[in-house]
Amino acid sequence: MVVDKHARDAIRSGALSVFAPAVRRVRGRFRPGDVVKIETATGDFLGYAFAQTSDRDVRSGRAPGIVARIFDRKGEYPERSPDEIVLERIERRYRFRKRWKVDAHRDHMRVVFSEADDVPGLILDKFNDIAVFQTTCPAIERIILRNAAELLEILDVDTLYEKNDSRKRRQLGMEVRKRVVAGEERVETVVEEYGVRFAVNVEEGQKTGFYIDQVENRAKVQELVDGGRVLDVFTYVGGFAIHAAVGGAEEVVGIDKFDRVVQAAYRNADLNDVRDRVKFLVGDAFALLEKFERRGEEFDVVVLDPPAFVTSKEHLNRGRRAYFDVNYKALGLVRDGGLFVTCSCSHFLEPSDFVRLVNEAAARRSVRLRMLGPLRGQPPCHPIVPGNPDTRYLKAMFCAVEH
């Protein structure tokens, strides 16, 4: 594939995805999963990539989005096989995390974070003794399945689980599957982070089973809580709520719209002996926040960890309104002198834009925010490539609130 100068510059800065509009021409024939060479119009080598689609679709203009994912920028292929390159990279990424003590206070981690770890299209998480993978790259999928038994040894786990049920796979025409591919037939385990335990069901849980990316922010909430009442909005399985209770909160209320995750949150409360201080409600977060304000409810700590309200550039304005609205409603429940923690996992929403929206919501409420340090984000097992802004997505503001 020959790409334009914009793709050239992006690849040299760390991007590994080749998008359809950047392809100027193709040579030869290929199918999804085949290895293709990426170069500039002047013949400069940029890397070897796995094709996401066929040459016919690229030529006809029917190929949407990503058409190739670069896995080798050094020219190691074809002397080394794609399997060898990818497996070595996974092992190196795992050793990297162990070396920098990512698991010093926890027994779960993201082992591979797609492009940030030079294994494009792959998410690989380790939950204690179970590893889970997701991919939208046909070639990566084949490599993982061919080498599943070896991955058990590399990652020191008993089970390798395939959680390939995303909407994106359906859009790409890839088979949807959830199954154990190597090791023991089990889907549940218990993880521990900063002294707090959580049950993880990799089959039924969202994404790979548990949100690892908020681990350090959950621990920070645990550290800052000093008695009082805590509200955890979009609690999922009780992540922030359980940490707050363990940290000493007198009363914790969690909100989620799904009954099954609320039941999982109660199980996690039992695992940590804090059920007597937590209550989880099933319902729409926006409606419940309004209800709490009408009743005059106040909390010493309010945590907002919503799903991504901005899922594409086309939905940016709608997503901004949603972030403004939920922050505005939540700020009405924080006591004078309380703590407000608000998050966004939308990588389409710039950090500065997020801070501005939260500040505008506070101004509308006539409250003043003081950030307790710089904007926080994702943990080291979700590394950020400076030249690839898509690898930075999580934003978390910890703010003192003054009325």
Q: How confident is residue 95, by pLDDT bands cut at 50, 70 and 90?
A: very high
Specify whether the CB–CB gap between 240 and 221 falls below 8 A: yes
Q: Pick the catalytic residue: 137, 343, 345, 381?
A: 345
C-alpha span between 334 and 339 (Å, rounded): 7
Q: What is the mean pLDDT of residues 14-22?
A: 95
Domain at 2-72, CATH from 2.30.130.10, 2.40.37.10, 3.40.50.970, 2.160.10.10: 2.30.130.10
What pLDDT was estimated at residue 195?
Answer: 98
C-alpha span between 56 and 47 (Å, rounded): 21
Mention the CATH class of domain 82-189: alpha beta
Least confident window among 134-143, 144-153, 157-166, 169-178 = 169-178
Specify whether the CB–CB gap between 73 and 46 falls below 8 A: yes
Specify whether the CB–CB gap between 234 and 254 falls below 8 A: no
Buried b (16+ CB within 10 A) or exposed e, 231-260: bbbbbbbbbbbbbbbbbebebbbbbbeeee
Q: Is the pLDDT of residue 33 over 80?
A: yes
Q: How confident is residue 173, by pLDDT bands cut at 50, 70 and 90?
A: confident
Q: Find residue 233's DSSP bridge partners.
A: 255, 304
Tell me the two tokens of residue 94. 């795992």
More confident residue, 172 or 92: 92
Q: Give percent helix, percent strand, percent coil of the chain, each to the nearest 5.
A: 35, 30, 35
Tell me the two tokens of residue 263. 């039941």
Q: For domain 211-402, which architecture applies?
A: 3-Layer(aba) Sandwich (3.40)
- Note the pLDDT tens digit of each residue in 285-327: 999 999 999 999 999 999 999 999 998 889 999 999 999 999 9
What pLDDT was estimated at residue 62?
Answer: 87
Please report, for the chain, the start and end positions of each structural domain, with discontinuous segments joined by +.
2-72, 82-189, 211-402
From the CB of residue 31, how many other CB atoms can be counted at a distance below 10 Å?
12
- To the query of whether residue 137 is one of the catalytic residues in this protein, the response is no
Cis? peptide before 78, omega within 30° of 0: yes
- Note the pLDDT tens digit of each residue in 321-377: 999 999 999 999 999 999 999 999 999 999 999 999 999 999 999 999 999 999 999
- Note the pLDDT tens digit of each residue in 216-251: 999 999 999 999 999 999 999 999 999 999 999 999
What pLDDT was estimated at residue 171?
Answer: 86
